[in-house]
Amino acid sequence: MTGFFKRDKTEAPESEAGGGAAEAEPTNYRAWSPADEEEAYMPAHGSPGNYAPPPLVMEKPQADAAELESIANAGSFEEQVIAALKKVYDPEIPVDIYELGLIYSVEVSARKDVSILMTLTSPGCPVAEQMPGMVQHAVHSFVEGVNDVEVEIVWDPPWTPDRMTEAAQLELGFI
């Protein structure tokens, strides 16, 4: 097996200043083995199969004065909530969640509590755990006077591209 060699590394002891381990000059070389291949693909934090990707962090929509005024002038309280929902985007699709058809219902109580029933594009969506918080944050940030915001994700009926508005379909090239 010529041409495939692995460097054996030796480490110098940690310095007293706490600088960590320093790599010493390699002392020898040996042929690459199947065990080396397994080691090369092993995550640094555990055994194969235990890999967990870093959590997806979504940017929370921020309200500036012009947007707040625009939403305040959107009409009824429910229309203001819908305008706030249009500030939340699916991180993989350049269309807001309202135009995508992910919002199934918006209900507003006399106390200005908001209840939102929504879905996601698929049950395996990587933002399933973060999306309700994003929606709550947007409504609280953009709509004045809102009390409590409850967001429930449902899977029935399942989302399909037919639920998108014509504008979203046009943006994504469906029409």
pLDDT band at 33 (very low <50, low <70, confident <90, very high): low
Domain boundaries, the chain: 1-52, 65-171
Return the pLDDT at 90.
Answer: 81
- In 3D space, the residue among 109, 114, 120, 147 whose CA is nearest the CA of residue 58 turns out to be 120
User: What is the three-class DSSP state of 138?
Assistant: helix
132: nearest Cα among 156, 102, 109:
102
Average pLDDT, rounded, for the chain = 74
Peptide bond into 54 cis (omega under 30): no
- Confirm if 171 and 95 have CB atoms less than 8 A apart: yes
DSSP state of 95: S
- Report the pLDDT value the prediction gives residue 119, as an integer from 0 to 100: 95
The answer, yes or no, to whether residue 111 has pLDDT greater than 60, is yes
For residue 155, pLDDT beyond 80: yes
pLDDT band at 51 (very low <50, low <70, confident <90, very high): very low
- Model pLDDT, residue 91: 78
CATH of domain 65-171: 3.30.300.130
Q: Look at residue 48 and tell me whether its pLDDT is greater than 90.
A: no
pLDDT reported for residue 71: 73
Provide the pLDDT for residue 149.
Answer: 96
Q: How far apart are CA 97 and CA 95, in angstroms?
A: 7
Q: What is the pTM of this model?
A: 0.61
Query: What's the pLDDT score for residue 169?
Result: 92
Which whole number is the average pLDDT over 127-150?
91
State how far the Cα of 155 lies from the Cα of 120, in Å rounded to an integer: 8
Q: Please give the average per-residue pLDDT across 100-126, as a whole number.
A: 94
Residue 151 has pLDDT above 80, yes or no: yes
